[in-house]
Copies of this chain bind each other. A is one copy, B any other.
């Protein structure tokens, strides 16, 4: 079937997936295999769908230096599904020594005569598997050097970014694949703002432009995310990694770019976003048209996120309830039992094997007397739930006054009118940065518990033996500076913080940023910390911005002018938008 009747001969098929986080929770008694099982399912779909390539959006691994077992399991899975005699039907037209210039083996794996690749995997790195240490290496280099993954999009010049695409051709379809591995969000957002990011658009007209990146998409403080409209408008489709909630159906942006956000294949935090159904995408590109079909992942552990808002004490008293804690336990256990039952029935209906679910109950209480002993309570769920240890999260309900501050916080699904660390941190990032932009002399230099904690984490995780000494040295100097400057900037600043009644939180957040900044100073040969935070956002607390002179600019644009978008059809059912020509 090599004649023109073959409908596939011009259709480039790509399996899209991201944030597979191999090795996540691999020591957990129940969840240890989850990340690997999902990866295996993803590559099975690649084989079944006979895709030409697999494209990953970063964070294939949960750590830059994963466990031996994680590396071994990844090798085994890739060799099982992506090696074989099936010929690869695409041509690689770019200069490989340029595209893979940061790699030691600058060749696309399926052209290596000594390995028999059936489905090449292309991947950028994310913020979890990014290069660390004095030699700036990560597990991605291991999988590049052994020929199992084509690792691309790694950019070292952080003053300006130029992305040269990989040009792939299949029949009459030409694909320009632009990869941008993770860069610190604040830095990259500034580069975008200053027009320092360019995607080197090929001169050919009949090219489909596919961009893959791994950045904050959701607002996490001013300059701490990449606005969707930063993507140059000649890009046809952007694959957005890093965000774990599945928004895989392509969404058209104001500038005409479509964005697909596949989301993670394993829940690495018990947030509401992670509880959405997990998918990967089958992307078919034919000339300039594309069609994206979501493929639900069946092997992923079910995860139910629910919020239980308790009644006020006065309402309970009216009903004659006075043992508040006992009452809470009854309410919560009824809720959990019904979730477990529902999951069981759903899986039975779908003919899926039984699997302990992940459950997160956010318990909103009015009064401390309503709290329960979550540890004792969870013990009866050990054989019923995958995560009894962190199933219950209790939060106080705070009375709010409906001011701007609260409206400001309601942008995100997962934000309640309660005080959480994430809420405080997010708000503070914005406010502190805003304050600092007014006066660039203001710097927060109070490092203490967080700094030492970070330093110890680096010693343990990264063999960075000098971290503690360097931090102490830095702290002493910072404290001296702070004392001498006290009285002028500090008062304004304290005022601002007192107004928010959150000084402690803010210091901690900024300490973390200062420590990150210090330890990622290129003059020091430091590794980036690999800290097993449940909440990824913590990694992204901004470094203190000391620059005020840079004027905002328009987002960068590609060289050529935008062609007519008429070659794109309207969005069909299930995301199908292809114009059948």
What residues of chain B lie closer than 8 Å to A85, measured between beta carbons? 113
A353 on the interface (CB 8 Å rule)? no
When chains A and B are docked, how far (Å) is the Cα of A53 from the Cα of B104? 26
Q: Is the CB of A145 within 8 A of B75?
A: yes
Q: Which chain A residues in 124-165 approach chain B with CB under 8 Å?
A: 133-135, 137-139, 141-142, 144-148
Copies, count: 2
The one of B65, B84, B114, B146 that contacts A146, using a Cβ cutoff of 8 Å: B146
A460 on the interface (CB 8 Å rule)? yes
What residues of chain B lie closer than 8 Å to A137, measured between beta carbons? 67-69, 72
Given the known interface contacts A105-B79, A459-B460, the answer about A68 and B69 at a Cβ–Cβ threshold of 8 Å is no
The one of B69, B115, B142, B460 that contacts A72, using a Cβ cutoff of 8 Å: B142
Q: Which chain A residues in 29-88 approach chain B with CB under 8 Å?
A: 64-65, 67-69, 71-73, 75-76, 79, 83-85
Q: Is the CB of A72 within 8 A of B104?
A: yes
A520 on the interface (CB 8 Å rule)? no
A394 on the interface (CB 8 Å rule)? no
A299 on the interface (CB 8 Å rule)? no
A interface residues, how many (CB within 8 angstroms): 39
Q: Is the CB of B76 within 8 A of A142?
A: no
Q: List 29 A-B contacts (CB under 8 A).
A: A65-B68, A67-B135, A68-B133, A68-B135, A68-B137, A68-B138, A69-B135, A69-B141, A71-B142, A71-B145, A72-B104, A72-B137, A72-B144, A73-B145, A75-B142, A75-B145, A79-B105, A79-B114, A79-B145, A79-B147, A114-B115, A114-B116, A115-B116, A116-B116, A146-B148, A459-B460, A460-B463, A460-B465, A461-B463
What residues of chain B lie closer than 8 Å to A138, measured between beta carbons? 68
A interface residues, Cβ below 8 angstroms from B: 27, 64-65, 67-69, 71-73, 75-76, 79, 83-85, 104-105, 113-116, 133-135, 137-139, 141-142, 144-148, 459-461, 463, 465
When chains A and B are docked, how far (Å) is the Cα of A84 from the Cα of B113? 8
A117 to chain B, nearest CB (A): 8
What residues of chain B lie closer than 8 Å to A72, measured between beta carbons? 104, 137, 141-142, 144-145
Instruction: Give A137's nearest chain B residue, CB to CB.
Output: B68
For the A-B complex with A68-B135, A72-B144 known, give 4 more contacts whose Cβ atoms are closer than 8 Å.
Answer: A68-B139, A68-B142, A75-B142, A83-B114
